[in-house]
A and B are shown apart, each in its own frame.
Chain A
Amino acid sequence: MATGALLQAINGTSLAALLFLVASGFTVTFGLMRVVNMAYGAYYLLGGYVGLSIAQASGSFALAVVGGGAAVVVFGFLVDRFLIRHTGENHLAQVLLTVGVAFVVGDVALKIWGGDSLKVPVPLFLRGAMELPGGLVYPTFRFVLILFGVAVAGVLWVLYTRTQIGAVVRAGVDDREQVAATGIDVDRLFAMVSALASFMAGMAGVVGGAFLTLYPGAEWEILIVALVVVIVGGLGSLGGAMIGALVVGLLDAYGRWLLPEFSYFVLFGPMAVLLLFRPRGIAGKDA
């Protein structure tokens, strides 16, 4: 039982790492650009599938991660430029529009990659299991994913809180007009942040595809869980996304383990209770 609990803690943390990659993009683009982009799940799936094809063609996992991310950067740029831009700050329009984009991506991906669950092949040294201190045997890939997630979160955190670009982004989240008034090219800033968010979603697809597999419908499952992360953490907050990802990842792992038929309750129930007391999430500010 104790080993099981520990195992689930690691499972939950590795899921949290993946969720953070998707949710952080969603939350920061919302905070900065006031855009609700429901296509992030589809970005995840698209990146995963493109990465899968690259991995099959080249045999390189690293190339797959970068290629999957890059493909989504291009796609996300086109969606931003030609579609989302026309919605202004109408969230209803953004939701419908990006849901439409996700439907198109999902269906075209089904046509290209088929309806079976596909697994992105991982390099040999990440396959198999490793023994953790304490004698626990755990899949190597998922353990490395935790380290990877922590590293990405660390880099983002430093970028966000310690660099000038991060300061501009934080200022933009608080007051966009003031930032524009100081002579900063807000459009370029948006494009950069959006590209980074797209890249992380695409990269997450490749990494997630290596252990959760890719299949039609995966785009909505990952998006919904990422939304819970964002709601729990507080919309627009990077720190909130970190906390939220950890909370949701652990709840999901323990929920699946202890109450497999009601794991959705375990995930969403606490969210509903939290909302009663803090409608804007753990780290959310009143807007």
Chain B
Amino acid sequence: MTPARLAGAAALAVAAAVLPEVAGPFWMGLVTQMLVFGVLALSVDLLLGHAGLFSICHGSFFAVAAYTTALLEVRYAVATAMAAPAGLLAGTLLGLVFGLAVRTRGVYFILITIAFGYVVWGVAHRWSSFTGGDNGVTNVPFPAVAGVRIDSHTEYYYLVLVAVALVALGYGRVIRSPFGLALRGIKGSESRMRTLGYDSNRHLYAAFVLSAALASLAGVLYVYYNRFVNPVAASFPVSVEAALMAIIGGTGTILGPFIGSIIILGLRNWVSSFFELYAAIMGLVFIVAVLWVPEGLVGLAARVRGRRAPAGPGSATG
């Protein structure tokens, strides 16, 4: 890490730590939500930005994890220490199944993940005796582990913040590992990687499952924040918006998906406060993002910077 980036990261950490001192409960709730959906967007981007696969079913892992944790906590009074890992596990197991989609590429992969995602939504929606139907599962308590109890949104914010920091560190290690570089290679030229002896399907499957695990983590973080979960969490718009967040922020980066999450959720909160047709506005954001900012804001910033000061030797590319 360069000194400038280190300073930036430190400033970000300090700002995030003191935020509850200046922001009220509404803003803390919104920021927590931005972080949680940032993790979801990051999970989508592991496939999109690093492996070149566009998945639109990550809402399912997110929702299955959230439902599992919520049902265990509420209906079976299972402690957080068990319920949260069970949620993670359930979402990841689903990833093992849906990961079969990596047998296909391109449009087929996109369409199949959409169809898979709908199964989860359909079950949450229709199997009402177990999932609570459209009402979902309500009254999820704050998490409590070994006598330590979270009992305010501010405390929960700190928990999420720590989780996000750990995720960012771990994610950074994965994408710089030989495995992460192999994924990049597959994205760049799959046939070349195969010629070099890499089993691309196996790499992509592993990436898919890892990405499902990350989406499940987002789901567990979400359900303790939101305190309830309903089929909307598994719905198509959640999955596709997570992809949009990664794209708007900038794919293939760690910061990008979080920036995208901040922009999308911030925009939605702001627009819906005065304009009824906010879903239409979100639709326009999709269109604008595709037509005018295809490389995302991080990419846009890099391009603007690059125009001002031509990249010198040693500057990172890609």
Contact = CB atoms under 8 A, between A and B. Distances in A.
B289 interface: yes
B4 interface: no
* Top 10 A-B pairs, shortest CB-CB distance: A100-B286, A103-B283, A264-B122, A104-B283, A107-B280, A107-B279, A100-B287, A100-B283, A261-B127, A97-B290
B54 A86 contact: no
A96 B104 CA distance: 20
A101 interface: yes
B119 A83 contact: no
A157 to B, nearest CB: 24
A231 interface: yes
Contact of B286 (A86, A97, A275): A97
Given A102-B283, A231-B112, A261 B129 contact: yes
A73 interface: no
A30 B290 contact: no
Contacts of A230: 111
B240 A231 contact: no
Contacts of B284: 100, 104
A49 B39 CA distance: 38
A228 B117 CA distance: 12
A224 B290 contact: no
B134 to A, nearest CB: 11
B234 to A, nearest CB: 11
A278 to B, nearest CB: 10
Nearest to A83: B287
B187 to A, nearest CB: 12
B280 A103 contact: yes
Contacts of A115: none
B291 A276 contact: no
Nearest to B114: A227
Contacts of B289: 96
B54 to A, nearest CB: 5
A51 interface: no
A126 B162 CA distance: 64
Contacts, number: 124
Contact of A103 (B110, B279, B290): B279
A215 to B, nearest CB: 14
A231 B112 CA distance: 7
Interface string B277-304: 1111011111101110010000000000
Contacts of A105: 283
Contacts of A227: 111, 114-115
Interface in B266-286: 276-280, 282-286
A275 B287 contact: no
Interface in B180-202: none
B18 interface: no
Interface residues of A, number: 43
| Majority DSSP secondary structure for residues of A touching B | helix
A272 interface: yes
Interface string A181-216: 000000000000000000000000000000000000
Interface in B71-109: 100-101, 103-104, 106-108
A220 interface: yes
A107 B114 contact: no
Contacts of A276: 100, 103
A169 interface: no
| Majority DSSP secondary structure for residues of B touching A | helix
A272 B122 contact: no
A106 B237 CA distance: 12
B11 interface: no
23 contacts: A30-B107, A36-B110, A96-B244, A96-B247, A97-B286, A99-B240, A100-B284, A100-B285, A102-B283, A103-B282, A104-B284, A111-B277, A224-B115, A231-B108, A231-B111, A231-B112, A261-B126, A262-B126, A264-B126, A268-B116, A268-B118, A272-B116, A279-B108
B290 A96 contact: yes
A261 B133 CA distance: 10
B291 A83 contact: yes
A265 interface: yes
A252 to B, nearest CB: 11
B254 interface: no
Contacts of A91: 54, 106-107, 110
Contacts of B290: 87, 93, 96-97, 100
A196 B112 CA distance: 26
A107 B127 contact: no
Contacts of A103: 237, 279-280, 282-283, 286
Nearest to A109: B280
B291 A235 contact: no
Contact of A271 (B115, B280, B291): B115
Contact of B123 (A93, A107, A264): A264
Interface in A243-287: 260-265, 268, 271-272, 275-276, 279-280
Given A36-B110, A104-B280, A264 B118 contact: yes
A108 interface: yes
A235 B107 contact: yes
Nearest to A271: B115
Contact of A275 (B54, B112, B279): B112
B264 to A, nearest CB: 13
